[in-house]
């Protein structure tokens, strides 16, 4: 099975590699082709235009010179001497052509008497202007460039002066440049291929590890971690997977602890209720005091079961998105004071002093759900007594913030506090941490949900000097239901 999975993963990675290489290399090849064609065209144009301009300048100078002759006889004598003494005959061929298109004189004697018949000659004879032509020589087949200019004597065109040069050297230079351009393009394509292969490998391998780890997590290996090697998007993905793995592991652990805790919480009161019910039913208890005590235990344990069931129902509503508020004007001070007075006598019997410091000014009524807010106050006071009651005192105070339309309700105990590593998790569903106090681990999560729905904030932190400080921040304005 593992071999089959590796085979599939290899196909997938090859598919990504092929797509990436095809897309990137196609673009690079297109750019290289455009580069080679552009460079070749530009260099060919540069060389050809430079040669053409030089030859046209020579032809224009010679044509201007021949205008000084008054008849064709004197022109022909000079032309014959000029072709014999032409100093650039190793680079250029100088030709004099009559009006019939035949070469009369040439610095390259073998062409004399032939008729080139090229368009540049015909153009000069037609309009008397300089013309240039590039192509294959009709006689030799060699690529040449020719520039022809008119020879005017006595006010009329009596012949054509023509410069001819071979393009063999120029074409060779252009081919060299094209070859160099192609070599540079090939090196560029090779470099892009190499860098792309390295880049793709640096992506595919980490992603494959992330995928493998995600599958292990999906298979139940909660808490497994991936080694982070990159501080980029892959690194962010690794952090996300690791964080998800840790949270799933914590969630599973908390659910397991919750099931164990709920089982214990249910078994203990049920055992007490069942035991006392059987004892009372058997008639073994005869005194009224014992009956009263047994009935009191049954009532107390029944209330505990009722509270646990209510918390489970609250959890179910939160999970299903059915947790809503019934918004109405609320006197926040009155709700808090009712909770304080309800618990004060109970705490006194437990040896815990409950101090309340009310606000000097009266708050206006705020929109909220009074029963839910009372539930939060009661739950937090009960938690303070359970976890911090050993400090012997709980302080409740209320204050209005000056910089924002908010009111703060503080509940502080003087117990041992919460370990720093557990503070970020205490509001998670089912989380109980290292506490040995009986409970389901749902209460604080429900309180967090209620305060959040009131657009408020629930803070839990260790207080200076010991104990835990819980702060409820609520807005003094309209909230959404």
Per-residue confidence (pLDDT) for residue 411, from 0 to 100: 93
Q: What angle do CA 127, 107, 172 make, to 5 degrees?
A: 85
pLDDT, greater one: 171 or 320: 171
Residue 459 scores a pLDDT above 80: yes
Residue 14 scores a pLDDT above 80: no
pLDDT, greater one: 119 or 315: 119
Backbone angles phi, psi at 245, to 5 degrees: -60, -45
Name beta bridge partners: 400.
Answer: 407
Average pLDDT over every residue of 93-112 = 82
Q: What angle do CA 236, 241, 244 make, to 5 degrees?
A: 125
Cα gap 160→59, rounded to integer Å: 10
In angstroms, the Cα distances linking 394 to 340, 350, 357, 397 are 10, 12, 11, 10
Per-residue confidence (pLDDT) for residue 36, from 0 to 100: 82
Residues 6+ apart with CB under 8 A from 439: 261, 265, 386, 432
- The domains located in the chain, with CATH, are 67-166 (3.30.450.20), 233-320 (1.10.287.130), 328-475 (3.30.565.10)
CB atoms within 10 A of CB 375: 18
Backbone angles phi, psi at 468, to 5 degrees: -115, 135
Nearest partner of 327 among 453, 424, 423, 449, judged by Cα: 453
Cα gap 373→190, rounded to integer Å: 69
Cα gap 215→210, rounded to integer Å: 9
Contact 434, 422 (CB under 8 A): yes
Residue 68 scores a pLDDT above 80: no
* pLDDT tens for each residue of 153-176: 767 788 888 899 888 888 888 888
The mean-pLDDT minimum among 70-84, 137-151, 232-246 falls in: 70-84
Residue 45 scores a pLDDT above 60: yes
Query: Side-chain half-sphere of 347: how many Cα atoms within 13 Å?
Result: 27
């Amino acid at each position: 099975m593992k071999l089959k999975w590796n085979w599939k993963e290899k196909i997938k990675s090859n598919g990504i590699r092929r797509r990436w290489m095809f897309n990137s290399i196609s673009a690079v090849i297109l750019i290289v082709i455009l580069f080679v064609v552009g460079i070749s065209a530009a260099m060919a144009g540069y060389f050809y235009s430079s040669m053409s301009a030089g030859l046209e300048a020579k032809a224009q100078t010679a044509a201007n010179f021949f205008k000084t002759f008054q008849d064709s006889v004197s022109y022909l004598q000079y032309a014959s001497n000029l072709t014999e003494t032409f100093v650039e005959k190793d680079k250029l061929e100088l030709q004099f052509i009559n009006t019939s298109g035949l070469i009369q004189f040439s610095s390259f004697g073998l062409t004399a008497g032939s008729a080139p018949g090229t368009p540049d000659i015909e153009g000069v004879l037609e309009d008397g202007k300089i013309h240039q032509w590039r192509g294959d020589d009709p006689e030799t087949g060699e690529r040449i460039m020719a520039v022809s200019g008119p020879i005017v004597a006595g006010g009329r065109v009596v012949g054509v002066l023509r410069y001819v040069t071979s393009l063999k050297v120029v074409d060779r230079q252009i081919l060299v440049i094209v070859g160099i351009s192609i070599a540079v393009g090939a090196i560029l394509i090779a470099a892009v291929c190499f860098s792309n292969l390295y880049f793709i490998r640096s992506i595919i391998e980490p992603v494959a590890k992330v995928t493998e780890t995600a599958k292990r997590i999906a298979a139940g290996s909660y808490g497994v971690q991936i080694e982070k090697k990159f501080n980029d998007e892959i690194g962010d993905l690794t952090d996300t997977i690791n964080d998800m793995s840790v949270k799933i592991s914590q969630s599973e652990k908390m659910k397991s602890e919750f099931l164990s805790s709920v089982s214990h919480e249910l078994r203990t009161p049920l055992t007490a209720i069942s035991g006392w019910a059987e004892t009372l039913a058997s008639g073994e208890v005869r005194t009224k005091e014992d009956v009263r005590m047994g009935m009191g235990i049954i009532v107390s344990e029944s209330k505990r079961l009722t509270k646990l069931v209510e918390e489970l129902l609250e959890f179910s509503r939160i999970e299903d998105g059915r947790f809503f508020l019934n918004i109405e004007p609320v006197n926040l001070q009155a709700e808090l004071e009712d909770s304080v007075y309800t618990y004060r006598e109970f705490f006194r019997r437990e040896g815990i002093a409950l101090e309340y410091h009310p606000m000097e000014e009266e708050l206006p009524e705020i929109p909220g759900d009074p029963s839910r807010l009372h539930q939060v106050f009661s739950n937090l006071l009960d938690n303070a007594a359970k976890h911090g009651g050993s400090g012997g005192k709980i302080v409740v105070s209320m204050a209005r913030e000056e910089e924002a339309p908010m009111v703060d309700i503080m509940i502080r105990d003087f117990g041992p506090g919460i370990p720093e590593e557990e503070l970020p998790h205490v509001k998670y569903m089912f989380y109980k941490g290292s506490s040995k106090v009986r409970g389901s681990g749902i209460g604080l999560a429900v309180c967090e949900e209620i305060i959040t729905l009131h657009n408020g904030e629930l803070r839990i932190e260790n207080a200076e000097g010991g104990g835990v400080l819980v702060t409820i921040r609520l807005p003094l304005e309209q909230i959404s239901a």
